[in-house]
Chain A
């Protein structure tokens, strides 16, 4: 893969950096100068011992050391920023494209409607690894490689089926009579949408947007393949944790899980609704 990029220099550097950083204390290697601030404050030997200990104690030790180390880790803030940017773009694009499709599906009869609904789901039928190579080539040709926008495009593709299906069920939950009533009260389709449909659907749209955010946030494969310098947090961690000691892997995993957990918790009601489980 790296021959495709020609930018793999930086990647190698950072990987070596972390390799050294990770093995730093445990294996008594000389520590890389640039990476060891913040590193010193953590007793890695202790952490590592706890990670490997068996049997585990029921009351886990509580130590923010590994997390603090992460916060100070070079590149992590940039990666976090990239993640947020890509996820935000995904969120906006998937709603901008998905919600009108959901509206059309719920309100209009058109030929090929059921086929269209099936095709939406089919976008998730192709495994990303299959698409990765052609995508990477395409992106390099169009100059989209290693950009937040390019990655957001891929993530949008992944998020759209959910955006369409969630908004479809949301729109279907709003009786057509409400819209018709607005039309008779002096609105055209657009103002009717603004005045009545949008306020009613907004919580659901938010949930669907957050869901798109989570999809993008959690996505690692496309992010790892399509970016080099502008890595998202998942790709960055995947790359670097590979060579880190176990307690740092755990800390990294934890960092990734938390936002997704919060988001899923926030939208759980709509996810259940989407899957046809009444939860209201």
Chain B
């Protein structure tokens, strides 16, 4: 039960500016994912919210209370770490109950809450084990259970699934989403995995070089990237970019073809389209096929359009081979335009 407000937070490590003037409001019970490549400052931001790191400037408010001078234990948060941080000298039961014991809750209350969260995470049969006897996935469950048992206002997760193998990650992801939706806590989740971010988030904050470049719903981030960086980062493969030349009256010429674009030209502009929003047709961007990668349901075709690399996801029953010349038609309502100078999307 808490709104998180981050106001003008900046962090410097010596000369290195890790975070620039971050402003972000996370609604009560919202699942917010901080997404970015490594070194973008997403973990630093999480650690500032947690209290493991202090901001050089700015304020952090949780539930209407300014917390940046408080120790982590007084912020009403709990955290799940990337390498689980399950205490090796305690049983699973004592691990989950650790925070409750620190709150000096009566024994039967500790027992009740430990058993309930253990059941939630499907580890009730492991309560007497030690961390050394658990697999990675089980340890991660213990770590999540330990955070949930605290019944925190806010739960913070720092790449909690990145140490798990692919299948387990998929399974835990779905489970985590269900458990957190039921727990009524606000969640902040740090990841570099965009699929994880897409599937979990109510809202994604895409971070780049210490800034939040876009904070929006997963679909919005995917469909309408606010910056060229987001367009080139989200999606697998990401958006294609081609230089565009202004003709007039909102018409733009891209690789010899003309498309409707921004009404006016203020400096150079780029045309952008997602690989899956392209279909072969009679009229379209002239593309020379360089590489064909069958992906099962689709073909990933890498082409050369006007000297630039251009990728298209096409139907797998299409007969395409290297060296073919294709005409690729972009779906008109999915075309996006970016200002090359400011890197921002043009509405």
B83 touches A184 (CB 8 A): no
A184 touches B87 (CB 8 A): no
- The verdict on A185 contacting B83 (CB below 8 Å), with A180-B52, A200-B88, A200-B89 known, is no
Map CB proximity to B onto A163-178 as digits: 1 under 8 Å, 0 otherwise. Answer: 0000000000001011
- Asked whether any CB of chain A lies closer than 8 Å to the CB of B200, the reply is no
- Asked whether any CB of chain B lies closer than 8 Å to the CB of A183, the reply is yes
B83 touches A186 (CB 8 A): no
B87 touches A186 (CB 8 A): no
B158 smallest CB distance to A (angstroms): 9
B73 touches A184 (CB 8 A): yes
* Total chain B interface residues with beta-carbon distance under 8 A: 22
Docked complex Cα distance between A277 and B83 (Å): 25
- Asked whether any CB of chain B lies closer than 8 Å to the CB of A188, the reply is yes
| A186 CB contact (under 8 Å) in B50, B51, B52, B99 | B99
Could you list 24 A-B pairs, sorted by A, with CB under 8 Å?
Answer: A177-B81, A177-B82, A177-B83, A177-B85, A178-B85, A178-B87, A180-B79, A180-B81, A180-B85, A181-B81, A182-B87, A183-B72, A184-B50, A184-B51, A184-B52, A184-B72, A185-B102, A185-B146, A186-B102, A187-B73, A195-B98, A199-B89, A200-B88, A200-B89
* CB-contacts of B325-340 with A (<8 A): none
A188 touches B71 (CB 8 A): yes
Docked complex Cα distance between A191 and B89 (Å): 16
Main DSSP-derived SS at the B contact region: loop
Docked complex Cα distance between A17 and B68 (Å): 74
B98 touches A185 (CB 8 A): yes
A181 touches B85 (CB 8 A): yes
- Asked whether any CB of chain A lies closer than 8 Å to the CB of B78, the reply is yes
Map CB proximity to A onto B65-98 as digits: 1 under 8 Å, 0 otherwise. Answer: 0000001110001110111010111000000001
* Total chain A interface residues with beta-carbon distance under 8 A: 17
Which residues of A sit under 8 angstroms from B89, Cβ to Cβ?
196, 199-200
A193 smallest CB distance to B (angstroms): 13
A187 touches B77 (CB 8 A): no
Most chain A CB neighbours (cut-off 10 Å) among B71, B72, B78, B83: B72
Docked complex Cα distance between A226 and B150 (Å): 58
B136 smallest CB distance to A (angstroms): 15
Docked complex Cα distance between A196 and B88 (Å): 9
A181 touches B79 (CB 8 A): yes
Which residues of A sit under 8 angstroms from B319, Cβ to Cβ?
none
Q: Which 3 A-B pairs have the closest CB atoms?
A: A186-B102, A185-B99, A181-B85
A14 smallest CB distance to B (angstroms): 51
Docked complex Cα distance between A195 and B90 (Å): 10
A54 smallest CB distance to B (angstroms): 57
Smallest Cβ-Cβ distance to B77: which chain A residue: A184
Smallest Cβ-Cβ distance to B143: which chain A residue: A181
A237 smallest CB distance to B (angstroms): 42
B290 smallest CB distance to A (angstroms): 45
| A187 CB contact (under 8 Å) in B52, B81, B102 | B102
B153 smallest CB distance to A (angstroms): 13
Which residues of B sit under 8 angstroms from A184, Cβ to Cβ?
50-52, 72-73, 77-79
Most chain A CB neighbours (cut-off 10 Å) among B78, B82, B85: B85
Which residues of A sit under 8 angstroms from B146, Cβ to Cβ?
181, 185
Docked complex Cα distance between A183 and B98 (Å): 11
- The verdict on A183 contacting B83 (CB below 8 Å), with A188-B71, A200-B89 known, is no
* CB-contacts of A192-247 with B (<8 A): 195-196, 199-200
B79 touches A186 (CB 8 A): no
- Asked whether any CB of chain A lies closer than 8 Å to the CB of B103, the reply is yes
Smallest Cβ-Cβ distance to A181: which chain B residue: B85
> Besides A183-B71, A186-B73, 8 other CB < 8 A contacts?
A180-B85, A181-B81, A184-B50, A184-B77, A185-B73, A185-B102, A186-B99, A188-B73
B85 touches A175 (CB 8 A): yes
* CB-contacts of B226-273 with A (<8 A): none
* CB-contacts of B102-136 with A (<8 A): 102-103
Most chain A CB neighbours (cut-off 10 Å) among B52, B77, B82, B150: B52
Which residues of B sit under 8 angstroms from A175, Cβ to Cβ?
83, 85
Docked complex Cα distance between A138 and B73 (Å): 50
B103 touches A186 (CB 8 A): yes
B45 smallest CB distance to A (angstroms): 16
B77 smallest CB distance to A (angstroms): 6
Smallest Cβ-Cβ distance to B99: which chain A residue: A185
Docked complex Cα distance between A186 and B77 (Å): 10
Which residues of B sit under 8 angstroms from A177, Cβ to Cβ?
81-83, 85
Smallest Cβ-Cβ distance to A191: which chain B residue: B102
Which residues of A sit under 8 angstroms from B98, Cβ to Cβ?
182, 185, 195
Docked complex Cα distance between A188 and B73 (Å): 8
A200 smallest CB distance to B (angstroms): 6
Map CB proximity to A onto B145-160 as digits: 1 under 8 Å, 0 otherwise. Answer: 0100010000000000
Docked complex Cα distance between A178 and B83 (Å): 9
Which residues of B sit under 8 angstroms from A188, Cβ to Cβ?
71, 73
B71 touches A185 (CB 8 A): no
A185 touches B150 (CB 8 A): yes
Docked complex Cα distance between A187 and B82 (Å): 20
Which residues of B sit under 8 angstroms from A185, Cβ to Cβ?
73, 78, 98-99, 102, 146, 150
Docked complex Cα distance between A188 and B98 (Å): 14
Most chain B CB neighbours (cut-off 10 Å) among A177, A185, A186, A195: A185
B24 smallest CB distance to A (angstroms): 20
Docked complex Cα distance between A182 and B73 (Å): 9
